Structure 1
Amino acid sequence: MTHSITIRVYYEDTDLAGIVYYANYLKFIERARSEWVRELGIDQAQLKATGGGVFAVRRVVADYHAPARFDDLLDVTTDYVSHSGARLELRQGVLRAGKLLFEAQVTLVCLADTGRPQPLPARLLASLSEIITI
């Protein structure tokens, strides 16, 4: 399953050269991950409040292929790759008119209030099992 959101590039997203500042791609994929989790029916604030944990980025491997520019409409995609224990692996991309501009492999970990890893929430696993073959 590929989840996708559309983001417009605003002036504040660009650098002096008029292209999207490299760190802003990480913000774009963060927004897309949050929307993906929301679409799975997970309320992250409620999850945290009930001891279900929070998601933290453990690792990002990113490749920049081409620049995005002011006023571009970008499609930001999120694809499930795998999970185990407290980890969730995702593949994310930023595209303009179907052309891949940026891609990342993202490893998330579920953390308890103590900051220690804890198993992925049962609600997330149940939602994943509905859309993928685990």
Structure 2
Amino acid sequence: MQAESGGPPPGRIGVRVYYEDTDFSGVVYHASYLRFLERGRTEFLRARGVGHRELFEAGAGVHFAVRAMTIDFRRPALMDDLLEIETALEAVGGASIDMRQTVFRGGEALVCASVRVAVVAGGRAARLPEDLRRRLSGTG
């Protein structure tokens, strides 16, 4: 795995907590954070010219799948909170991408996650195409 020194700046998106994201007490249900983090990764990639639909429709032959995730739940988010999901590229390997994600409310970190995304083609690990590598690193 090769670290991305001087890589692209982190991406940030806003997410509002709705009733459907919470448990019966108005606290965000733990699995809801997975959706928030997925949105953050998707928008991070989109901002770098890597759209899931484009990969699918263009027949690029690859897609991404979460391989591993470690989540640290520090503080709860609540119904109606406005959250920010920050996504940063940590490393790009031959067939995987490591990202760091943080869910903020105001300036407070509520949830921190380390995510390894596998590059997959035909149901197997695949090398990240060079054009996608350039777009992720902000050089293409």
Alignment deviations for residues 10-53 of structure 1 (CA, whole Å, 9 cap, x no partner)? 01100012100000001100011011111101122221331330
* Identical aligned residues as a percent: 42
- 1:79 is matched by which residue type in structure 2? A
Q: 1:30 aligns with which of 31, 38, 61?
A: 38
Aligned residue pair count? 130
How big is the shift at 1:55?
Answer: 0.2
Match of 1:15 in 2: 23
1:67 to 56, 61, 76: 76
Q: C-alpha separation between the residues in 1 aligned to 2:36 and 2:108? A: 16
TM-score by length of 2: 0.88
Q: Does 1:104 align with 2:133?
A: no
1:106 Cα deviation from its structure 2 partner? 0.1
Unaligned 5+ segments in structure 2 are 1-8
CA distance in 2, matches of 1:75, 1:43: 21
- For 1:95, the aligned partner's letter is F
Q: CA RMSD in A?
A: 1.2
- The ranges of structure 1 where at least 4 consecutive aligned residues each deviate by more than 4 angstroms after the TM superposition are none
Match 1:123 to one of 109, 123, 131: 131
